[in-house]
Amino acid sequence: MHDAIILAGGENSKHLSRYTEQSYEAMIEIAGRPMVTFVAEALAASPHVRRILIAGPVQQLANCRFPASAIIVNGGRTIMDTIGISIGALGHEEKTLVVTADIPLLTPAAIDDFLRQCSGIEADLYYPIVARNDHERKYPGNKRTYVRLKEGVFTGGNIFLVKPGIVPHCMEIAEKIVANRKNPLKLCRMLGWSFVGKFIFGALKLKEVEARAGELLGIQGAVVLSGYPELGIDVDKPSDLELVRNTFSLRV
C-alpha cells in the first residue's frame, strides 16, 4: 500500500475566476461539493492507498468532509515546496502517490491500474500518459495539451508515484518542468536541441524522452501508458469546468 498526497494549494486561475468566487482551485464547487473531496474519496476507495495527506489552505480545507484516513497540512510556496513539506510530514521513504486536487473525475479503477503497472517496473519516479484516441473516445471535444511522439499522440496525467529520497536533489529541475508542463516545445528544449528537430517531425521516441528526463533529474524515471483519461482531466479552464460539471450531472 502507498500513502498519498493531494496538492490542494493552487490558487484559482484568472480563466476560472469569472465562474467561481473560490480563491483556490481545490475548493471550486462540483455537484455541490469542493472538487478536492472527490479526489480524496477516489483515493480512499482504492485498496492500494493507506493515508491521505491533503496539503493546502488549512482553514478552507477544514470545512470539507474528507475520508477518515485524510490528514490536512499547510502547503508550501510552490508545488515542489508542498511536495517536500508533505513527504516530511509522512515521515518515511516508501514510494508515495502524489495527486493534484483538480482532477475530480479520478476513479479508484484509474488509480489501481496505474499502481498495478508501476509495481512491475523498478524506478524512482512513475508518470502516466494517455493516448489521444483513448481520451477523445471517452471525452470528445475536451481540449488537452498533446505531444506527438513516434509511437503516437499523448497527453500527461496529474498523478505520479515517487520515492521520497529523490525529491530534494530534483527540486530545481522539477520546478522548471512543472512551470513548462503546458508547453511541449519548451519541455523538449529542456531535453536538448537534438531533441527539438525530432519533436517537430514527430520522430522523438518515448524511451528517448524517458531516458533523457531521467538524466536531467539524476533518477530512474518510468512512463506508464494508462487507458484512463480521468488521470489527466484537470480543471484549469472554463471548458474543463463545464465538462466536469456536466459529467457529474449525468450521474445523478
What tens digit of pLDDT does each residue of 106-151 get? 999 999 999 999 998 898 889 999 999 999 999 988 888 888 888 8
pLDDT at position 109 is 96
Reported as a single tens digit per residue, the pLDDT across 50-90 is 999 999 999 999 999 999 889 999 888 888 888 888 888 88
Asked if the model's pLDDT at residue 166 lies above 90, the reply is no
How far does Cα 233 stand from its chain's mean position? 9
Q: Total domain count for the chain?
A: 1
CATH of the domain at 201: 3.90.550.10
Residues ≥6 apart with Cβ < 8 Å to 123: 219, 220, 221, 222
Q: Band of the pLDDT at 103, cuts 50, 70, 90?
A: very high
Dihedrals φ, ψ of 154, to 5°? -135, 155
167-181 burial, b at 16+ Cβ within 10 Å, e below that, comes to: beebeebbeebeeee
**What integer pLDDT is reported at residue 250 of this predicted model?**
72
Q: Which residues span the domain enclosing 89?
A: 2-251
Q: Judging by beta carbons within 10 Å of its beta carbon (0-12, 13-18, 19+), is residue 62 exposed, middle or buried?
A: exposed
pLDDT tens-digit map of 13-52: 666 767 677 778 889 899 889 999 999 999 999 999 999 9
φ/ψ of residue 234, rounded to 5: -90, 140
